A and B are shown apart, each in its own frame.
Chain A
Amino acid sequence: MSDRSQLIETGTPFQFDAERDAEFERLVKRYPTRESMILPALWLTQEQEGWISAEAIGYIADRIGTFASKVFEVATFYTMYNLHPVGEYHICVCRTLSCYLLGKQQIVDYLYQELGIKPGDVSKDGKFSLEEVECLGHCGTAPVVQVNGEFHEDMDVEKMKALLATLK
C-alpha cells in the first residue's frame, strides 16, 4: 500500500523515439478507441526510459487525446509501471493475499537487511530497487518474486539469498 501519486518531473519534455513512435502508430489501429492505448503507451514509455515521469504521462495523454487525469489514474493503479527510476535489478515482491499469507514479509525483511532498501527504494549504488506489487497471477506457487520481469516462485528467504547471489 503506497501513495504512487507523487510523480517525478524531469524538467524536460518527453517524446517517443522513432521506434516507439512507429510502434504506437502500429498499435493504435488495433483498438476501437484511442483510449485503449493508455496501457500500451505506458509500456512503451517504460521500455524506452525504464520509468515513467510526469512529463511522459502528459505526453501520452495529449498523444492519445485523453485527459491526463485518466492516464495518471492508470499509471498509479498498476504497480508494474515504475513511476521513478529503478535499479539495474528491479525486484518486485508480490504483496497480495496468497503471497502475504505465505510469507512475503520475511522476504521483504530479508532484502532490507541484506540490501538496505525498503519497498520504493533504490540502493545507493543503483544496482537494486525493491517494490511491493499487486498479485502477479501465480498465486498457486506463492510467494512470488519477479526480477526484471522474470518469475521466481515458491520463494523463501533461503531461495532469495541464492537468487541474490546470482545477481551480484
Chain B
Amino acid sequence: MAEMVKLSVNGQEVEVEAGKNLIDAVGAVGIEIPHLCYHPALGADGNCRMCLVGIEDGRPPLVPACKTPAAEGMKVQLDAEHIKKIQHDVMELELINHPTDCPICDQAGECALQDYYQKYDGQESRMTVPQVQKSKKLDFGCGVIHDQERCILCARCVRFTRQITKTGELGIVNRTDDARVTTFPGRPLNNRYALNVVDLCPVGAMTSSDFRFKQRVWFLTRDKGICHGCSKGCNIFIDHHKEKYKDDIIYRYRPFVNEQVNGYFMCDEGRMTYKKENQDRLLVAKANNAESIISSAVDSLKNSISSSNKPVFLVSPNCSLEQMYAIKKLGEAKGATVSGFSDGYILEGDGDDFLIQDDKAANRAGLELLGVDTTKEAFESAMKEADLLVNFNNDLAKSYDAAALDELIGDCKFAMVATTQDALTEKAEIAIPAASYSEYSGSVINTDNILQMFNKAVVKNEPFDDIVNIVSRIGGDVNENSAAWAGMKASVPALKDVEPEQIPEQGLALNS
C-alpha cells in the first residue's frame, strides 16, 4: 500500500498518495487540475503552464502541479482568482494562433483545448493581427498526419519518440511563434508504435490517416476489449458505431491503460487488426459444399461428428479459454483428438522488448493451461488416420502453404467454424460462421500468464454464435461461459480459486 498524506484542495481535505505529483495525486480523488504537456507515461515537462496552482506556504505564488509532489499538510488552491486568471491567460496564449475551425477538426469532441476553453476561458479573442500560418496535412509516415497550426507544442509526441520508442523522429524546430513539430528530411516516423502519438496529442495536430474524417467521435461507443494481435493482449478501447440502416462496425482501436499489461500504449499492427473484425467475414454457412442456412450446417456437422471414427478437432490459439474448454470437452466425449497446433502463428524474432510478441495469438497460454497438445507431430499423426477435421477458427494457412494443406487434408472430411472467409472456408465442405472476439465475452491468458476477461462490445444486426454455443449446438455439454468456468475450476488446478466475476480490471496474474 502506498503511503498516504492529507492535504487540502480549495480548503477541502483529501487523502492522496504521497510523492505523486499533484495532477495525479488529486486526480485520483476526482479533482481535475488542467494540464496539457504532462502525461503519466512521459513524465512532467513543465512547458505548457496550464497546471499552475497556488500553494499557501510561502513559496512563489504559482507552481506547476506536474512538478510538485503531494506532501502532508499542503494547502493547494485551484479556485483562487489569480489561478483562474492564469488558466485563462494560458488558454488565451495557446489560442493566439490556433485555427478556430473545430467543426472541421477531426479531434473535435475529444480535444483538451476545446474542453479547457469551455471550462477555463470562454472569452472572445482579442487578437487583431493575422495568425501565423504553418503547414497542414504533413505526412509524417506510419499513417500519422500532422497539422502544424493545430499544434500547441506540448512536446508529448516528441518525448514519446525520444523516451519510449527511442527513435527520435520528431522535433520542435524554429523558435517563438514559428516553432513547429516536424521530422528531419528523409527521416520520417519509422517505428512500430508511431500511431500512439495520435492518442497522446491533446489536440487535433496528430491524426491517423486511417481514422481521420471517417467518423465523428461523439457517435462512437467506447467498449473495453483485448487486442488479439499477439500474445501480449494489450487492453483496448473498441470504438464502434452502428449507423442508421447499417451494421455495427469498428472504426478504431485505441489503447486502454493497464499498467500490468500494456501501460498506455499499443502497437500499430495491433491497432489495425480492427479491420479484420469488419472485413472479409464469413457470412454464409455451408453444408455439403453448398451454401445453406446455419442450422443445416450445424446439423450436418453434428452428424458428421457422430458418424466419424477418427475425428480431429483443431483449436485456434486465439480462441477464448471458455471456447477451448468447450471444444476440449466435446472432443473427449466424441473420442476426437484435440490439437492446438498453430506454429504458423509464431513469427520467430518479430517481437521486441516492449509490447510486440513473436506469438501472434492471444491465448496460447490458455491451450497450455488446459493441456491441449500443440505439437506438429501429434497433429500430423492424428491427421494421417483422421476421417474428419473440424477446424475451430485456426488459420492453418499460417502453418501450411496451399500444397501442403491439400496433402494434409487429403480425403479427410473438412469442416470449419470460422470468423473469416478465406481459402480454408472455400475448401471446407461444412462452414459455420462464428462471432469474433469483439462480439463475444471471454477470457484469455497472455504471454506473462495474466488472465484477462473481456466483454462483448459489438452487436451485429445478425449476430453469429460464440464458438461456445456452436460447440453446444453440435453436441457439447458446455453451453455458456459460466458452465465452462464451473468445469475449468473443477479440473484445472491453476483456476481452482479463480472467480471469473472477480478478475480485476488489470487482469489476474496466474501462478505458473
Task: Note all chain A residues with C-beta closer than 8 A to B180.
Answer: 3, 5
Task: Note all chain B residues with C-beta closer than 8 A to A77.
Answer: 173-175
A28 smallest CB distance to B (angstroms): 20
Q: B28: CB under 8 A from chain A?
A: no
CB-based contact A73/B171 at 8 Å: yes
Q: Which of A63-71, A109-117, A119-127 contacts B (4 or more CB under 8 A)?
A: A63-71
CB-based contact B178/A1 at 8 Å: yes
Complex Cα distance, B167 from A70, in Å, reads: 11
CB-based contact B171/A1 at 8 Å: no
Q: CB-CB contacts of B267-301 with A at 8 A, as 1s and 0s?
A: 00000000000000000000000000000000000
CB-based contact A68/B187 at 8 Å: yes
A105 smallest CB distance to B (angstroms): 16
A83 smallest CB distance to B (angstroms): 10
Within 8 A of A (CB), among B335-349: none
Number of interface residues of A (CB under 8 A): 21
Q: B231: CB under 8 A from chain A?
A: no
Which residue from chain B places its CB closest to the CB of A73 in the assembled complex?
Answer: B171
Which residue from chain B places its CB closest to the CB of A7 in the assembled complex?
Answer: B185
CB-based contact B173/A76 at 8 Å: yes
Q: CB-CB contacts of A51-86 with B at 8 A, as 1s and 0s?
A: 000100110010000111110110011000000000
CB-based contact B185/A9 at 8 Å: yes
Q: A4: CB under 8 A from chain B?
A: yes
Number of contacts between A and B (CB, 8 Å)?
Answer: 63
Q: B183: CB under 8 A from chain A?
A: yes
Complex Cα distance, B134 from A69, in Å, reads: 18
Binding site secondary structure of chain B: mixed
Complex Cα distance, B158 from A75, in Å, reads: 17
CB-based contact A67/B185 at 8 Å: no
Known contacts: A73-B171, A73-B173, A76-B173. The answer to whether A68 contacts B184 by CB under 8 A is yes
CB-based contact A5/B174 at 8 Å: yes
Q: B162: CB under 8 A from chain A?
A: yes
Report which of B162, B175, B177, B178 forms a contact with A67, defined as CB distance below 8 A: B162
Task: Note all chain A residues with C-beta closer than 8 A to B168.
Answer: 66-70
Q: A166: CB under 8 A from chain B?
A: no
Known contacts: A67-B162, A70-B171. The answer to whether A58 contacts B184 by CB under 8 A is yes
Q: B425: CB under 8 A from chain A?
A: no
CB-based contact B184/A57 at 8 Å: yes
CB-based contact A54/B185 at 8 Å: yes
CB-based contact A76/B174 at 8 Å: yes
Residue among B132, B172, B176 with the highest chain A CB neighbour number at 10 A: B172
Which residue from chain B places its CB closest to the CB of A67 in the assembled complex?
Answer: B168
Complex Cα distance, B171 from A3, in Å, reads: 14
Q: B170: CB under 8 A from chain A?
A: yes
CB-based contact A58/B173 at 8 Å: no
In the assembled complex, 19 residue pairs joining A and B whose CB atoms fall closer than 8 Å, in A order, are A1-B178, A3-B174, A3-B178, A3-B180, A4-B173, A4-B174, A4-B178, A7-B185, A9-B185, A54-B184, A58-B187, A61-B184, A67-B171, A67-B184, A68-B187, A69-B170, A70-B168, A70-B171, A77-B173
